[in-house]
């Protein structure tokens, strides 16, 4: 069960006393997992060893991941057809494709679909869940009430008996509710449609977002049960400006104290730990910093834990480009500093939308779509530019 957060949170605004980690010695390797160009915006469930994704025709598929090798099974991603007429193409990227949601009965799939025989518009969009029944078969069920809503993100607290979903209406207003209780729907009016820096926390029932304070974007938490807004950061630097979001999770290296990650001024990963201070109060204290070198900007950061340690992976935009070309990995602990690029320099490629899966034999791999921008320099993420899905070894086996 997610832990509660105290209403009164005292913030410690400290300078980062640790040194930025040196770049780790490492030889990157990349392996193609799927040649399928249309296999995009797939989401991975570690618990089920599955991927869920939607093809351009609106068919939602389920495929396996080999726990030993990390291979997609089948490589095309077209394993089991779960649903048709689901949100696809441009609407999928503007709203979202299928997402995994953690529940007491295991990971389920949260997604949007269009009403049958209706135009594929927001007004005709509804939300649904795909889950296993008592026999282990996958079944789908539309969520009530029958009103226009577009699924977006879901909570990820393993074993959660009261999971949460976040979604949009046709005017792009943002809402949340408890999955099983439609009456719990609440408008998130503090988060305008233009704000993209938000996520559910893990380990506590809170919604994270950024809001400007004296002209500087800072991270806030909205405590979903108590309806209280809490400012988590007050220190210098703009938090999660464009391509990044804040995250909170229980960090095993810190005795499962909650930690917060945010990207500051576009390039610095900054970690805060919620810990008891000498004054007897809980403080959000900066404990780690890692800055991408060479003017790189970060995008799409996500966290995972492995062998009792936390890591954050992200894409990097270089040379002022509007598309990411590299994948980087960072630790969060000054006692275990790590910052490394895990993708190769040659051939020069676009790499987008990273996901993680932890194998038995190779440890964590980071999966992503790879594109050849030379085919269409003006549209480097074009379908013809796609080389399929690749993975890079995070190099953490035995670490």
- Token pair 């300078």 is found at 15
Q: Assess contact for 396 and 364: CB atoms under 8 A.
A: yes
Q: Does residue 156 surpass a pLDDT of 90?
A: yes
Q: Does residue 8 surpass a pLDDT of 80?
A: no
Check residue 11 and give its pLDDT. Answer: 42
Ranges 128-132, 190-194, 300-304: which has the least confidence = 190-194
The better pLDDT of the pair 169, 2 is held by 169
Is 100 among the domain residues?
Answer: yes
Q: What is the share, in percent, of the chain residues with pLDDT greater than 70? A: 94
CA 206/CA 217 separation, integer angstroms: 18
Check residue 26 and give its pLDDT. Answer: 87
Instruction: Band the pLDDT of 277: cuts 50, 70, 90.
Output: confident
Q: Assess contact for 169 and 179: CB atoms under 8 A.
A: no
Q: Does residue 290 surpass a pLDDT of 50?
A: yes
Q: Is the peptide bond before 74 cis (omega within 30 degrees of 0)?
A: yes
- Token pair 């490589």 is found at 75
Parallel, antiparallel or unpaired: strands 80-83 and 72-73: unpaired
| Tally of domains in the chain | 1
CATH number of the domain enclosing 98: 2.130.10.10
The pLDDT tens digits of the residues spanning 102-126 come to 999 999 999 999 999 999 999 999 9
- What is the arithmetic mean of pLDDT over 181-202? 93
Q: Does residue 4 surpass a pLDDT of 60?
A: no
Is 43 among the domain residues?
Answer: yes
Instruction: Band the pLDDT of 24: cuts 50, 70, 90.
Output: low
Is 68 among the domain residues?
Answer: yes
**24 DSSP assignment:** P
Check residue 7 and give its pLDDT. Answer: 37
Instruction: Band the pLDDT of 397: cuts 50, 70, 90.
Output: very high
Parallel, antiparallel or unpaired: strands 181-187 and 174-178: antiparallel
The pLDDT tens digits of the residues spanning 204-227 come to 999 999 999 999 999 999 999 999
Q: Does residue 17 surpass a pLDDT of 80?
A: no
Is 2 among the domain residues?
Answer: no
Among 88, 209, 99, residue whose Cα is nearest residue 154? 99
Parallel, antiparallel or unpaired: strands 282-291 and 10-11: parallel
CA 352/CA 176 separation, integer angstroms: 27
Instruction: Band the pLDDT of 300: cuts 50, 70, 90.
Output: very high
Instruction: Band the pLDDT of 242: cuts 50, 70, 90.
Output: confident
- Token pair 């046709």 is found at 170
Check residue 238 and give its pLDDT. Answer: 98
Which tokens belong to 187? 């408008």
Is 70 among the domain residues?
Answer: yes
Is 187 among the domain residues?
Answer: yes
Instruction: Band the pLDDT of 5: cuts 50, 70, 90.
Output: low
Q: Does residue 264 surpass a pLDDT of 80?
A: yes
Domain of residue 385, residue span: 10-393
Is 3 among the domain residues?
Answer: no
Is 398 among the domain residues?
Answer: no
Which tokens belong to 165? 């979903």
- What is the arithmetic mean of pLDDT over 151-170? 96
Averaged pLDDT of the chain: 93
The pLDDT tens digits of the residues spanning 314-326 come to 999 998 899 999 9
The better pLDDT of the pair 197, 249 is held by 249
Check residue 196 and give its pLDDT. Answer: 84
DSSP-assigned beta bridge partners for residue 157: none
Q: Assess contact for 192 and 185: CB atoms under 8 A.
A: no
The pLDDT tens digits of the residues spanning 35-83 come to 999 999 999 999 999 999 999 999 999 999 999 999 999 999 999 999 9
Rg, Å, the chain Cα set: 20
Parallel, antiparallel or unpaired: strands 326-331 and 309-317: antiparallel
For residue 104, with 0-12 CB atoms within 10 Å meaning exposed, 13-18 middle and 19 or more buried, which class applies?
Answer: exposed
The pLDDT tens digits of the residues spanning 335-350 come to 999 999 999 999 999 9
Phi, psi of 310 (to 5 degrees): -100, 145
Q: Does residue 19 surpass a pLDDT of 70?
A: no
């Amino acid at each position: 069960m997610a832990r509660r957060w105290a209403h009164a949170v005292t913030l410690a605004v400290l300078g980062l006393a640790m040194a930025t980690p040196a770049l780790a010695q490492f030889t990157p390797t990349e392996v193609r997992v799927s040649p399928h160009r249309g296999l995009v915006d797939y989401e991975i469930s570690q618990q089920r060893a599955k991927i869920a994704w939607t093809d351009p025709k609106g068919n939602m598929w389920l495929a396996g991941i080999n726990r030993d090798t990390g291979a997609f099974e089948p490589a095309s991603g077209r394993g089991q057809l779960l649903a048709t007429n689901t949100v696809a193409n441009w609407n999928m990227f503007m709203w979202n494709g299928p997402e995994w949601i953690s529940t007491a009965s295991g990971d389920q799939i949260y997604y949007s679909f269009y009403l049958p025989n209706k135009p594929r518009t927001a007004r005709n969009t509804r939300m649904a869940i795909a889950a296993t029944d008592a026999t282990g078969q996958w079944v789908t069920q539309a969520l009530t009430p029958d009103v226009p809503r577009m699924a977006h993100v879901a909570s990820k607290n393993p074993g959660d008996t009261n999971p949460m979903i976040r979604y949009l209406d046709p005017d792009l207003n943002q809402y949340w509710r408890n999955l099983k209780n439609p009456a719990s729907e609440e408008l998130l009016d503090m988060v305008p449609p233009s704000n993209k820096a938000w996520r559910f926390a893990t380990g506590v029932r809170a919604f994270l977002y950024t809001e400007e304070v004296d002209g500087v974007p800072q991270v806030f938490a909205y405590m979903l049960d108590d309806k209280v807004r809490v400012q988590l950061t007050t220190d210098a630097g703009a938090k999660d400006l464009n391509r990044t979001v804040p995250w909170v999770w229980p960090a095993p290296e810190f005795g499962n104290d909650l930690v917060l990650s945010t990207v500051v001024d576009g390039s610095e990963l900054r970690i805060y730990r919620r810990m008891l201070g000498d004054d007897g109060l809980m403080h959000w204290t900066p404990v780690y910093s890692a800055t991408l070198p060479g003017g790189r900007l970060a995008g799409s950061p996500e966290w995972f834990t492995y062998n009792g340690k936390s890591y954050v992976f992200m894409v990097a935009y270089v040379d002022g480009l509007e598309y990411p070309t590299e994948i980087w990995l960072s630790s969060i602990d000054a006692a275990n500093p790590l910052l490394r690029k895990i993708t190769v320099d040659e051939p020069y490629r676009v790499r987008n939308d990273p996901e993680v899966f932890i194998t038995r034999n190779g440890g964590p791999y980071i999966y992503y779509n790879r594109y050849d921008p030379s085919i269409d320099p003006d549209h480097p993420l074009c379908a013809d530019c796609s080389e399929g899905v690749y993975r890079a070894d995070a190099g953490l086996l035995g670490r």
